[in-house]
């Protein structure tokens, strides 16, 4: 069996940059994403740079998808030594106006697939006595966010699940880490429904980090010893404020900013 880092969301944005950062470390990657064409581009890039890459295009919101990923890895003789759960989607807007099926898909991806992959792979990592899991949450995990209620709730789940699991697995040889990026310059903002041209979109772009910088923070989270990394100085200040102020204060501030800039 060959060791591999399984990265979900490998086709775009932060996940893609995490794959590139792992390539630079000489790590073999199994990249998982929704679309085949993004993975084909990544495979071309890997061939040109001599990096080792396996890919799987799959919709992780579908029942049985995680089992298919694990079977694909096993069939290719790959043993997952590192898991990076980065695939995630957002939905911006008044909650009652959102499409119910889209909300269910977001929950299935951000919570369901991440939990199932973490659980199943953690079991085999603990049995081997080593392994790494990195789950990507968001600064949206620091307080509830109006107009991002359900998205923010999924990221609260990711944070609570990851930090709790990290504590349970302390001393097993398996490290479990949490990465919280803030707004990052990827297709995510547009796909979440924050339309370009709106002031909210411009504000998000202005505050954005690059996905390359977030991927560096992901590498620090993997390298430890801290199992909890907030990417970027501004986001760390946001985290500190969220510990000091009552959640309602930040929530109201966010509500006012997004109402004024939509
Ligand atoms: N960008 C931000 O402002 C921001 C801020 C905080 C946290 N985050 C978090 O960071 C993570 C990565 O976001 P990003 O900004 O890199 O977004 P992105 O550029 O839109 O990338 C999302 C990735 O997830 C994959 N994906 C989407 N739906 C999927 C599905 N049903 N099954 C399998 N894969 C699926 C996409 O596949 P394709 O490549 O095939 O489309 C893509 O590779 C997410 O968890 C997000 O919540 C992002």
The residue among 126, 180, 170 whose CA lies nearest residue 14 is 180
With a cut of 60, say whether residue 30 has pLDDT above it: yes
Nearest atom in ligand 1 to the alpha carbon of residue 65 is 32
Record the tokens describing residue 195, joined without a space. Answer: 């339309």
Return d(Cα 114, Cα 128) in angstroms, integer.
21
CA of 3 to the centre of ligand 1 (A): 24
Q: What is the pLDDT of residue 262?
A: 56
Nearest C-alpha to atom 43 of ligand 1 is from which residue?
9
Per the annotation, the verdict on 92 as an active-site residue is no
Return d(Cα 219, Cα 179) in angstroms, integer.
10
Render pLDDT for 179-209 as a digit per residue (tens, 0 to 9).
999 999 999 999 999 988 887 888 888 899 9
Exposed (0-12), middle (13-18) or buried (19+): which is 226, by Cβ within 10 Å? exposed
CA of 187 to the centre of ligand 1 (A): 8
Record the tokens describing residue 178, joined without a space. Answer: 């949490």
Confirm or reject: Cβ of 82 under 6 Å from ligand 1: no
- Other Cβ atoms within 10 Å of 194 Cβ, number: 24
Confirm or reject: Cβ of 138 under 6 Å from ligand 1: yes
What is the share, in percent, of the chain residues with pLDDT greater than 90?
A: 87
pTM of the model: 0.97
* Residue 237's CATH number: 3.40.50.720
The residue range of the domain holding 229 is 2-261
Q: What is the pLDDT of residue 224?
A: 84
Render pLDDT for 196-248 as a digit per residue (tens, 0 to 9).
888 788 888 889 999 999 999 999 999 987 789 999 999 999 999 999 998 88
With a cut of 80, say whether residue 74 has pLDDT above it: yes
State the total domains in the chain.
1
What confidence tier does 260 reach under pLDDT thresholds 50, 70, 90? Answer: low
Q: What one-character DSSP code corresponds to residue 11?
A: T
CA of 35 to the centre of ligand 1 (A): 12
Confirm or reject: Cβ of 54 under 6 Å from ligand 1: no
């Amino acid at each position: 069996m060959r060791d591999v880092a399984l990265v979900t969301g490998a086709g775009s944005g932060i996940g893609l940059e995490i794959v590139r950062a792992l390539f630079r470390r000489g790590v073999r990657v199994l990249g998982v994403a929704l679309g085949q064409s993004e993975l084909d581009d990544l495979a071309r890039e890997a061939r040109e740079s001599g990096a080792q890459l396996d890919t799987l295009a799959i919709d992780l919101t579908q029942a049985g998808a995680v089992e298919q990923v694990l079977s694909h890895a096993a069939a290719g003789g790959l043993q997952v030594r590192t898991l990076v759960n980065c695939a995630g989607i957002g939905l911006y807007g008044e909650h009652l106006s959102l499409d119910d099926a889209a909300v269910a898909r977001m929950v299935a991806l951000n919570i369901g697939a991440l939990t199932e992959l973490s659980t199943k792979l953690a079991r085999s990592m603990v049995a081997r006595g080593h392994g790494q899991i990195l789950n990507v949450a968001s600064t949206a995990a620091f307080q509830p966010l109006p107009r991002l209620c359900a998205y923010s709730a999924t990221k609260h789940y990711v944070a609570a699940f990851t930090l709790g699991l990290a504590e349970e697995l302390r001393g097993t040889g398996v490290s479990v880490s949490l990465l919280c990026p803030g707004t990052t310059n990827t297709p995510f903002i547009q796909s979440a429904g924050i339309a370009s041209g709106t002031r909210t979109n411009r504000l998000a772009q202005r505050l954005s980090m690059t996905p390359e910088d977030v991927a560096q923070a992901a590498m620090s989270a993997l390298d430890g010893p801290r199992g909890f990394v907030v990417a970027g100085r501004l986001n760390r200040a946001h985290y500190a404020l969220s510990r000091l102020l009552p959640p309602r204060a930040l929530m109201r501030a966010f509500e006012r900013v997004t109402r004024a800039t939509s």
